[in-house]
Structure 1
């Protein structure tokens, strides 16, 4: 799979791949879905194509690919790590385009995607260092992708298909729980270690202050927004369960 050098980019190839998957979902897999829900379901499809594969690729890039892996938060990006960045950059380009076209009012998600693109692009193309830590954060962010996408697809169809409603109700607490632990515990712990590393000068001469400081602002903001989002989901779940108990 090592088809690229450090200076080359596979973004055009991966962009075409995600575009094809999105269109496959829109015109084939979800062609009979409600017109308003087809774009969101197609977005889920490219998220599936990105989420679990990028966790595997990041693990391989960080820990298995090199015979002498660089486990330093500010180590130079390896060619395979840059490939993983391109894989993710292409995904976020297509998914951001989806939001701009179909849900331009969803400014929060658009801002999130643009911020993530900023981190990936600067780390990959401008700084060239620090990719090891960024890919660990990407792994933590995407490890819940299978649950989230299954939950999202079930949520889109729960009012029309009884089986989807059962999946949605049954999966919700498990998805919320795993998401809360990963984003609310493991993510902040790793970010804390990363901030301490940079504040103690670990990135001096390798990752400039403007880069790591801006990355931390984006990452911390993303974690806070994620926790706000899942907190709202928990609140709605408790309200729904309470309402069902009263009706029952």
Structure 2
């Protein structure tokens, strides 16, 4: 079953994407349908990944930053690899110019693939990062879908405005504080040599570099959103005063 996990998950995400694109969002403008379909597979991955990863980590009695991957942890890694492969295809087809997201997906896949198929250790650390990355997924996708229709659907605009502050706050806490702390702990552990002979140096160093880069981009992204929200709210306040 473990060997079949990757093709089964990949086929499932592709199917979900196609159903979303051709059925669920068939009446949406071609401009927004690809993004909506992408949100659909992201929703199908995000929260389930958090639950599966949490369960697999808690079930691992030997869990640690360099512990051997368990079967359950490998299944979660295959689950996430399948999602990112599907979404990478989405960006390659519809947004080939979006090099930032394509690069993000390739880097993420590199981390998951090396953990799953090269090192066979360290899934506890990688899945902990996955939990932090996906814990905001449901809120982010709802926010994204509402944002894509906020200019032509009143209810979407209201939902977008309602979700923005709590989503930005949660995202800022996770990506700006909890994530960096976990990466710091990982770096201290690996740099101490505790994973020597278990995880190749080039593997854990590349993990740290990729994750630090991803967190840095995330912090820049959410900072820009906070600035936009502030300007928007200030603009509305000035209009009311006038």
Matched residues in 2 for 1:33 and 1:72: separation?
A: 46
* Residues 7-27 of structure 1 deviation map (CA, whole Å, 9 limit, x = unaligned): x24211111100110011111
Question: Which residue matches 2:8?
Answer: 13
* Residues 81-140 of structure 1 deviation map (CA, whole Å, 9 limit, x = unaligned): 110000000000000110010011111000000000000001100110111100000000
Question: Which residue matches 2:190?
Answer: 198
- 1:70 is displaced (CA, Å) by 1.7
Question: Which residue matches 1:115?
Answer: 107
Q: Does 1:24 align with 2:19?
A: yes
Report the TM-score when normalising by structure 1.
0.95
Q: Does 1:169 align with 2:161?
A: yes
2:62 to 61, 64, 70: 70
Matched residues in 1 for 2:182 and 2:12: separation?
A: 32
Q: Give secondary structure in 2 for the equivalent of 1:10.
A: helix
- 1:52 is displaced (CA, Å) by 0.1
2:125 to 118, 133, 136: 133
1:245 to 231, 237, 240: 237
Question: Which residue matches 1:33?
Answer: 28
Aligned residues: 240
Question: Which residue matches 1:46?
Answer: 41
Question: Which residue matches 1:180?
Answer: 172
The Cα RMSD (Å) is: 0.8
Matched residues in 2 for 1:222 and 1:198: separation?
A: 19
Question: Which residue matches 1:55?
Answer: 50
- 1:202 is displaced (CA, Å) by 1.3
Q: Give secondary structure in 1 for the equivalent of 2:30.
A: coil
Q: Does 1:222 align with 2:217?
A: no
Question: Which residue matches 1:89?
Answer: 81
8 Å Cα contact 1:129-1:207 kept in structure 2:
yes
Contiguous gaps of at least 5 residues in structure 2: none
